[in-house]
Amino acid sequence: MSLLEKFTSLLPNRLKAIYQDFYKKTLPFIELTRLNRPIGIYLLLWPTIAGLWIASAGSPTPSLVTIFILGTVVMRSAGCCINDFADYQVDGTVERTKNRPLVNGRLKRSDALFCFSLFSSIGFILVLFTNSETVFLSFGAIAVIAVYPFAKRYTNLPQLILGVAFSWGILMTFTATKGNITQIAFLLFIANILWTIAYDTQYAMVDREFDIKIGIKSTAILFGDSDRIVIGLLHTGFIATLFLVALQLQFGLVYYISLGIASLLLSYQHYLIKDRQPDLCFRAFLNNNWVGLVIFLGTLLHYL
């Protein structure tokens, strides 16, 4: 018996019933929004706040830091909701997703649509505290997030659309800080798209056999036996683009060290995916959290 179960057993029957009812209703929504699996938040957060630090030359206002951190959480949650709304029929045929709340009936599709609308609205309210340029860009963010889950049915490049969605916040950090999108912002945008395609291809390699059977498209299927080579090229482009950013901004040694450590982590990922075993491909995907964190810390330490 876990500590939580022991604690629950000590509660009076009335409180125990309230707790169990709350747990029964809340847990499915936590699973729907993936708040219990925050890897997606991290992958979205690190490049976004790194962009914010660069856009503000190392001095972001506390309000913008708060807005973009909270915005990252709510918009990633919104994306998960619309993803499950779109995939409710196919998730039950995939081993990794067969227990999602829309599949086993713990939630309805209308619940997912409601959550998407709720979190998108919260994200929009947060953006209202920035400026008109950022508010304008936020409509594009919502559109890309909404399109991505359905793209898997029509194109072999849904990871490209996800890359745009996961990189859009970088552009918004520049409009929120400077009022416009600079060349550096575009370079960071491109770098993050390359990285996102690489790690989401690793993620898609986990489900490739299932996706082929049910007709879901992905870059893992598109690249086929060349998947590892293409991921390597994407990683090279990612690091090279960030290196170019560092040269243009005259970053110090600590940032280049962070790029070196990130490159070692990416090399480790290639070792993990060498045999294309699903569990190791998933470990490679998860390892990208450290890549993003290391590069953000390099950015932070440079300005400090």
Say what the pLDDT of residue 206 is.
92
Q: What are the pLDDT digits (tens) for 236-248?
A: 999 999 999 999 9
pLDDT of 21 > 80? The answer is no
pLDDT of 93 > 80? The answer is no
pLDDT of 67 > 80? The answer is yes
In a domain, 30, yes or no: no
In a domain, 11, yes or no: no
In a domain, 26, yes or no: no
In a domain, 7, yes or no: no
Q: What is the 3-state secondary structure (H, E, C) of the chain?
A: CCHHHHHHHCCCHHHHHHHHHHHHHHHHHHHHHCCCCCHHHHHHHHHHHHHHHHHCCCCCCHHHHHHHHHHHHHHHHHHHHHHHHHHCCCHHHCHHHCCCCCCCCCCCHHHHHHHHHHHHHHHHHHHCCCCHHHHHHHHHHHHHHHHHHHHCCCCCCHHHHHHHHHHHHHHHHHHHHHCCCCHHHHHHHHHHHHHHHHHHHHHHHHCHHHHHHHCCCCHHHHHHHHHHHHHHHHHHHHHHHHHHHHHHHCCCHHHHHHHHHHHHHHHHHHHHCCCCCHHHHHHHHHHHHHHHHHHHHHHHHHHC
- State the burial class of residue 291 (Cβ atoms within 10 Å of its Cβ: 0-12, 13-18, 19+): buried
Say what the pLDDT of residue 235 is.
98
Say what the pLDDT of residue 128 is.
96
Lowest-pLDDT range of 89-103, 195-209, 269-283, 290-304: 89-103
In a domain, 110, yes or no: yes
Say what the pLDDT of residue 1 is.
46
Instruction: pLDDT band for 98, please (50, 70, 90 cuts).
Output: confident
Q: Based on the structure, what is the number of domains in the chain?
A: 1
Say what the pLDDT of residue 256 is.
97
Q: Which of 10-14, 144-148, 174-178 has the highest mean pLDDT?
A: 174-178
In a domain, 137, yes or no: yes
Say what the pLDDT of residue 96 is.
80
Tokens at 210, concatenated = 């299932």
Instruction: pLDDT band for 24, please (50, 70, 90 cuts).
Output: low
pTM for the structure as a whole: 0.90
Q: What is the CATH number of the domain that holds 255?
A: 1.10.357.140
Q: How far, in whole angstroms, is CA 185 from its chain's centroid? A: 19
pLDDT of 8 > 80? The answer is no
**Which residue range forms the structural domain that includes residue 238?**
39-303
Q: What are the pLDDT digits (tens) for 198-240?
A: 999 999 999 888 888 888 899 999 999 999 999 999 999 999 9
Say what the pLDDT of residue 89 is.
80
Say what the pLDDT of residue 2 is.
47
In a domain, 270, yes or no: yes
Share of the chain above pLDDT 90, in %: 73
Say what the pLDDT of residue 4 is.
43
Say what the pLDDT of residue 210 is.
84
Say what the pLDDT of residue 294 is.
98
In a domain, 13, yes or no: no
* Mean predicted lDDT score pLDDT of the chain: 91
pLDDT (mean) for 130-150: 93
Q: What are the pLDDT digits (tens) for 251-279?
A: 999 999 999 999 999 999 999 999 999 99
